[in-house]
Amino acid sequence: MLLKLSLAGMKGKLKDYFVLLSGLVMTISVFYMFQTLSWNTEFIKSNAMIRNIQLVFIVGSVLLSVVTILYMLYTNSFLLSLRQKQFGMYMMLGAKKKSIKKIMFVETMVIGCASLVIGITVGIGLAFIVGYLLAGQLNITLEGYQSFYLPAVLATFIFFIVVFLCTALINHIKLSRVQVLQLIYSDVHPDDMPIQKKKNSWLILLGLISLSLGYVSLIFMEKLREIGLFAAPTFTTLGTYLLFIGYLPVIVNRMQANKRWTSKGVTSFTFAQLNFRIQGLTKILATVAMLIALGAGAISAGLAFKNSASQMAEMMGAYDVIIKNPNAEEKALLKNIHFTEENQYRFKEDPDYTYYLRDDLENQRPLLLVSDGRKPKFKRVTEDLPEGKISLSEVKNPEVGQQLSDEWDRALWNLRTNYRVFKQMIVLDSETYHEIQGQEKLMYIGKSDKFTDYLHEWQGIDKLALEKDPILTADDLTSKYSFYNMYSSFTSGTMFMGFFLGIAFLAMMASCLMFKILSGASKDTSRYQMLRKIGVRRSALSTSIYKELFIIFLFPAMVGLAHVLIGMNMFSFIILNPYYRIWVPIIIFLIIYCLYYVITVKLYKQIVLPKE
Amino acid sequence: MGSPVVEVRNVQKVYGKKGGNQFKALNDVTFSMQEGEFVGIMGPSGSGKTTLLNVISTLDQVTSGEIKIDNVDITDMGQDELSDFRSQKLGFIFQDFNLLENMTIAENIALPLYLQGTPAKNIDAKVVTVAKRLGIEELLQKYPAEISGGQKQRSAAARALVHEPTVILGDEPTGALDSKNATSLLETMKDLNDRQNVSIMMVTHDAYSASYCQRIIFIQDGKLHKEIHRSATRELFYKEILDVLAQLGTKNA
Ligand SMILES: Nc1ncnc2c1ncn2[C@@H]1O[C@H](COP(=O)(O)OP(=O)(O)OP(=O)(O)O)[C@@H](O)[C@H]1O
Ligand SMILES: [Mg+2]
C-alpha cells in the first residue's frame, strides 16, 4: 500500500525526477569516461609525453571523486526534499516511520541503480563517440583505446554503489531524527530566510593564501616536481572553495546594497533573489569553476600539444627542406611549394670529406636559426670564410684542420640530410676545389612560407630520399618533416587525452550547474507567480531571470579561466609556448558556455514562468 | 458618492474546454462599485467568489461580458497592458500573504514603487509612512520568515497600499488570522476607507469581517443573489448578514 502511495507521489513530480535522473546519469557517464582512460594504464603510458602521467590521472581521479561526491550530496538532498512533505503527511495519517524509511531507502537505491545502468551505457556510448570523432578530427589512430573497458565499468560501478549506499544511509539517519511536523513544513522552513552574512575575513584570507600557494605551485611546477603536482590541485581547489564560500556572498550583498542599481523596477527582486540564493550556490559554483578550469585547461593543453609539433619543427632549423642532388621527381614536388628562399651549393665528396665551394657559400649566405627558447628567429651568416688559396693537405690534417668561424661551422653542419654519414666539411677556393677528383653534386636548401602548409610534399620528399639511398631508414633522416612527424606521434596521444577529458569535464560542469539551478526552480515558481499577480510584465520577469543567471554564470567562468591562464604554465617544461593561440580554446569554451547559459535560462523559464 | 470605480456587466466565466466538461462559475453577473466604497462579497463555498475577484483583478479572463475599472475596459487588454494596469491601479491582499521570502518587509512593501519607477529617494519615506499606519514600522528590516501570520498579513496590506491604488482587492484577507489580528487588519482597512477614501473590495466567509463593509453582495451558484447595505450600527449589520447567510444555508439544504 505504502509503495503504491509512494509511486503515486513520484508521478506528480515527474519533471523533478527527470532533472534528478539526468543529473545522475551525466555524472556517472562522465566518471566512467574518465575511468576508461585512467585504468587503461598501457594506453596512457604509451601515449603520453608526460613522465608522471599516471600521477596526473590519480590526482584527476581524486578531484573528480570529490566533485562527484559533492554533487551526489546535492542530488540526494534534492531527492529527500522532493519526498519530505509527502512522507510527513503519510506519517501524520499513521504510517510508521520504519516503513517510510524503508521506502526512502528502496527509492534511493532504485534511482541509484537505474541511473547507474543508464549512466554506464551512456558513458560507453559517449566514450565511443568522443573517441571516434576525436581520432578522426586529429588524424590519429588510437591503439589500445577502448570505449568499453571492463575495469572502468567495475570501478564506476563500485564507486557509485558505495556512494548510493552512503546517501541512502544519510537519508535514513536524517529521517530518524526529524519530527513529523518538521517534515510537513520542510518546504517552508529551511532556506526561506537569507542568512545574515557576516563578512568572513578568515575564510577569505585563508582562501587567498591557499589560492596563491596553488598558483605558485602551478607556475613553478617544473621545479617543484611531484610536490607541485600535489600542491597545485590541492591548494587551488581549496582556495577556490574558500573564496567562493567566503567572498561571493559578500560581493552579491554589496551589489544588492547599491540602491542606485536595485531600486529600478524588478531589479530589486532580481538582486534579492540572487542574494537569497547565493548562499546555497557557493559550493556548487566553486565546483563549477574547478570543472571549467579542468575542462578548458585540458582542452587548451590538448591544443597546445597539437600546436607544439609545428613549433618544435620550426625550432629545428632555418630551412624546411634539404636535398642532395634533387632528381626530377623531387623537383616536381618542390614546384608545388612556395619558397621564400632557395639556395643551391655545389660540392664534391670523397669517402672522408665533403668539399664546398667558397664562392657559392659567399654568394648565397645561408640563414641561421637563433632561438630565444620560445620563438624562432633567423639571422644571416655574416662572418668571414677562410680567404686566399687553401692548401688541401693542410686542412685535411687533423692537427691543423680548417678553422671555420662559429656561424659557418653551424651553417655547414646544417647541410646534412641524415644521421648515418658523418663527413668533415671543408670549404675550398675554386682553384683547389676544381682539383678535387669526383663528380660535382648539388646541395639544395629551401625555406617555405609556411612549413605546416606543405606537410604532404615534405612527406613525399622524405620518401624519395629513402628510395635514393637504400641504406637509410626513416629514423636516419634529419629532415624537419621527419622530426615533426615523430613529435606529433608523441603528442597525439596526449592531445587526445586532453580533448577527451576536457569534453568530459565540461559536460560534468554543465550538468552540475544546470541541476542545481533547475532543482531549485519549483520552489521559485510561487515567487514569480506572485510578481505576475501584482503586475510585473512577463518580459520584465524574463529579463530578471536572464540577469540573475548571468551573474551566477559569470563568477565561475571568470575564476575557471583565471585558473586555466595561470595553470598553462605547468606545461612550459614540455611545450615551447603553452600560451600559443590560447584564445582559441578559450573562445571555443566561451561559445559553449554561452549556449549553455541560454539553454539553462530557457529551461528555467519554462518551469517558473509557465505559458499563459 | 463619486463615480463608479468598478463596473461589472453581464460577466460570464466558463471553466473547461468547449465540448468537454464545462462549468459555469459566473453567470451573468452585473454590479458596480462607487469610488470610496467598502464592498464585501459573500457566498457559500464554490459559489464563484474567488473567480469573480480574479476576473476583476485581471488575473483571469472573462468568457463574456465587460469589466471596467476607473472607466477603462480591462476585458480587451493585452497581457503587458494588464500587468502595467495591475501594478498601477490595483492593490492585492491575498489569503496566503504572498510576501517574497527573499526580501525584507521593507523591500516587499516597496516593490510596487520599484515597479512604477518611483525615484529611490521617495521610496523610503512612503514605505515608512504606510508601515506606521499599519503598525509594522519595527518589522521593516526583518524577513517574512521572522514575523507572525498577522504581521505578515499587515505587511501584505501595506504593500497593497503603498502605491495608492485605485482599488484594493482582498480574497479572505482575514482568513488565516486569529480574531485579534483580524480585527486590527479590518480596523485598518476601515480607517483607510473612511479617511483616505480608498475603495476596497473584499471576499470573505466570515460575517464578522463582512460587518466592516458598507455593502455586501451575496452570490450563489455564480449568480448575484442579494445585496444589503449597512444603514445602522455594525452590530445590527452583523445580525442582518447572519440572517442572509442562514437563509442561503437553508436553501442549500
Ligand atoms: N480552474 C478551474 N477549473 C475548473 N473549475 C474551477 C476552476 N476554478 C474554480 N472552479 C470551479 O468554479 C466554482 C467557483 O469556484 P471559486 O473558487 O470561485 O469558489 P469560491 O466561491 O471562491 O469558493 P470558496 O469559498 O470555497 O473559496 C467552483 O465550483 C470550482 O469548482
Ligand atoms: Mg475562494
Is the per-residue pLDDT at A188 higher than 70?
no
pLDDT of residue A179: 72
The CATH code that applies to domain B35-60+78-252 is 3.40.50.300
Q: Per residue, what are the HEC states of chain B? A: CCCEEEEEEEEEEEECCCCCCCEEEEEEEEEEEECCCEEEEECCCCCCHHHHHHHHCCCCCCCEEEEEECCEECCCCCHHHHHHHHHHHEEEECCCCCCCCCCCHHHHHHHHHHHHCCCHHHHHHHHHHHHHHCCCHHHCCCCHHHCCHHHHHHHHHHHHHCCCCCEEEEECCCCCCCHHHHHHHHHHHHHHHHHHCCEEEEECCCHHHHCCCCEEEEEECCEEEEEEECCCCHHHHHHHHHHHHHHHHHHHC
A196 at B interface, C-beta within 8 A = no
Closest chain B residue by Cα to residue A261: B120
For residue A187, pLDDT over 80 is answered with: no
Render pLDDT for B231-250 as a digit per residue (tens, 0 to 9).
888 889 999 999 888 888 76
Q: For the residues A217-232, what does the mean pLDDT come to? A: 82
Which residues of chain A are within 8 Å of residue B74 when distances are taken between CB atoms? none
Among positive and negative, which fits the CA dihedral A538, A541, A543, A546?
negative
- Of the partner residues A265, A272, A539, the one whose CB lies closest to the CB of residue B100: A272
Give the number of C-alpha atoms closer than 13 A to the C-alpha of residue A506, restricted to the C-beta side.
Answer: 25
Contact B181, B147 (CB under 8 A): no
Q: Is A269 on the interface with B (CB under 8 A)?
A: yes
pLDDT at A565: 92
Q: Which of A268, A276, A537 sits opposite B80 (nearest CB)?
A: A537
**Does the pLDDT of residue B84 top 70, yes or no?**
yes
CB B25 near ligand 1, within 6 Å: yes
Residue having the nearest C-alpha atom to atom 30 of ligand 1: B46
| Per-residue pLDDT tens over the stretch A537-555 | 888 889 989 999 999 999 9
Do B52 and B31 contact (CB within 8 A), yes or no? no
Closest CA to A228 of A527, A478, A572: A572
- Whether pLDDT at B128 is above 90: yes
CA nearest to A190 within chain B: B145
User: How does DSSP assign A333-355, residue by residue?
Assistant: HHHTS-EEEEEEEEEEE-SSEEE
CB contacts, 8 Å: B112 with chain A: 534-535
For residue A374, the model assigns a pLDDT of 66
Q: Please write the tens of the pLDDT for every residue from A228-264.
A: 878 888 899 999 999 998 888 888 888 888 777 766 7
Ligand 1 atom closest to B26 (CA): 14
Query: From the CA of B235, how many Å to the nearest CA of chain A?
Result: 35
Q: Which three cell numbers stand for residue A600?
A: 539553462
Strand order from edge to edge, sheet including B23-34: B23-34, B4-15, B64-69, B72-73
Query: Does the pLDDT of residue B159 top 50, yes or no?
Result: yes
With a cut of 70, say whether residue B115 has pLDDT above it. yes
Q: What is the pLDDT of residue A183?
A: 66
Interface membership of B92 toward A (CB under 8 Å): yes
- Assess whether the C-beta atom of B95 lies below 6 angstroms from ligand 1: no
CA of B203 to the centre of ligand 2 (A): 8
Check if B144 has its Cβ closer than 6 Å to any atom of ligand 1.
no
Look at residue A20 in the predicted model and tell me its pLDDT: 82
pLDDT bucket at B103, cuts 50 / 70 / 90 = confident
pLDDT band at A373 (very low <50, low <70, confident <90, very high): low
Q: Cβ of A192 under 8 Å from any chain B Cβ?
A: yes
Q: Which residue has the higher pLDDT, B38 or A72?
A: B38
SS3 call for A441: strand
Beta-bridge mates of residue B224: B219
Residue A414 CB partners (closer than 8 Å, separation 6+): A317, A318, A319, A322, A366, A368
CA of A92 vs chain B CAs: smallest distance (Å): 22
Average pLDDT (A471-479) is: 82
Q: How far is B165 from chain A (nearest CA, A)?
A: 11
Contact A272 B146 (CB under 8 A): no
Q: Is the pLDDT of residue A529 over 60?
A: yes
Across A76-90, A450-464, A511-525, B81-95, least confident range: A76-90
Q: How close is the nearest chain B Cα to the Cα of A602, in Å?
A: 20
Question: pLDDT tens-digit profile of A96-144?
Answer: 778 788 888 888 888 889 999 999 999 999 888 888 887 777 767 777 7
Give this prediction's pTM: 0.76
- Note whether A268 contacts B88, CB cutoff 8 Å: no
- Cross-sheet strand order for the sheet of B90-93: B90-93, B167-171, B199-203, B38-42, B215-220, B223-229
Find the residue in B nearest to A527 (Cα): B100
Which pairing describes strands A424-428 and A353-357: parallel, antiparallel, or unpaired?
Answer: parallel
Q: Is pLDDT above 90 for A158?
A: yes
Q: Is the pLDDT assigned to residue A163 strictly greater than 80?
A: yes
Mean of pLDDT values over A503-513: 84
Q: How many Å is the Cα radius of gyration of chain A? A: 33
CB B201 within 8 A of CB B33: yes
Tell me what pLDDT residue A213 has: 93
> How confident is the model at residue A389, as a pLDDT?
79
The per-residue pLDDT for B163 is: 86
pLDDT value, residue A116: 93
Does A530 contact B at CB distance below 8 Å? yes
CA distances from A195 to A263, A538, A601 (A): 22, 29, 26
Q: Which ligand is the nearest neighbour of the Cα of B42?
A: 1
**pLDDT-above-90 percentage for chain A:** 15
Q: Where are the beta strands (DSSP E) in A33-162?
A: none
Share of chain A above pLDDT 70, in %: 92
Inter-chain touch B83–A265, beta carbons under 8 Å: no
pLDDT at A198: 60
Chain A contact set for B79 (CB, 8 A): 537-538, 612
Alpha carbon of A612: minimum distance to chain B alpha carbons (Å): 9
Instruction: Judge if the beta carbon of residue B48 lies within 6 A of ligand 1.
Output: yes
Least confident of A214-218, A381-385, A403-407, B247-251: B247-251
Residue A62 has pLDDT above 90, yes or no: no
Q: Is the CB of B51 under 6 A from ligand 1?
A: yes
pLDDT at A159: 93
Pick from A191, A196, A270, A258: which is nearest to A552 by CA? A270
For A163-172, A190-199, A353-362, B206-215, which range has the lowest pLDDT when averaged over its residues? A190-199
Q: Is A612 in contact with B79 (Cβ distance < 8 A)?
A: yes
Going from N- to C-terminal start, the domains of chain B cover 35-60+78-252
Which of the residue ranges A99-103, A396-400, A456-460 would you say has the lowest mean pLDDT? A396-400
Q: Evaluate whether A441 touches A346 at the Cβ level (below 8 Å).
A: yes
B96 to chain A: closest CA residue:
A530
**What is the mean pLDDT of the segment spanning A592-611?**
89
Helix axes A201-219, A221-257, angle to 10 degrees: 150
Task: Note the pLDDT tens digit of each residue in A421-441.
Answer: 777 888 888 888 888 888 888
CA-proximal residue: ligand 1, atom 2 (nearest): B15
d(CA A124, CA A32): 8
User: With contacts defined as CB-CB under 8 Å, which chain A residues touch B86?
Assistant: 533-535
A426 contacts: CB under 8 Å, gap ≥ 6:
A353, A354, A355, A356, A395, A396, A402
Nearest to B100 among A277, A530, A535 (CB): A530
Percent of chain B with pLDDT over 70: 96
Q: Which three cell numbers stand for residue A572?
A: 612550459
CA distance A263 to A266: 8
**Cβ atoms within 10 Å, residue A3:** 12
**How large is the average pLDDT for residues B21-43?**
91
Give the nearest ligand 1 atom to B203 CA: 22
Q: Give per-residue burial for A435-468: e unless 16+ CB within 10 Å, then b.
A: ebeeeeeebbbbbbeebeebeebbbbbbebbbeb
Q: Which three cell numbers stand for residue A287?
A: 565546483
The more confident residue out of B142 and B18 is: B142
pLDDT at B250: 62
Question: How confident is the model over A41-61, as pLDDT tens digits?
Answer: 777 777 766 666 677 777 778
Q: Which of A263, A539, A612 has its CB closest to that of B114?
A: A263
d(CA A485, CA A592): 32
B59 touches ligand 1 (CB under 6 Å): no
Looking at chain A, which residue has its C-alpha nearest residue B113? A265
Mean pLDDT, rounded, of chain B: 86
> Which residue owns the Cα nearest ligand 1 atom 12?
B25
Pocket flag, ligand 1, residue B86 (CB < 6 Å):
no
**Chain B CA closest to residue A277:** B102
> What's the pLDDT at A192?
46
Residue listed under C-alpha cell 502605491: B163
> Is the CB of A533 less than 8 angstroms away from the CB of B94?
yes
Please tell me whether residue A531 adopts helix, strand or coil conformation: helix
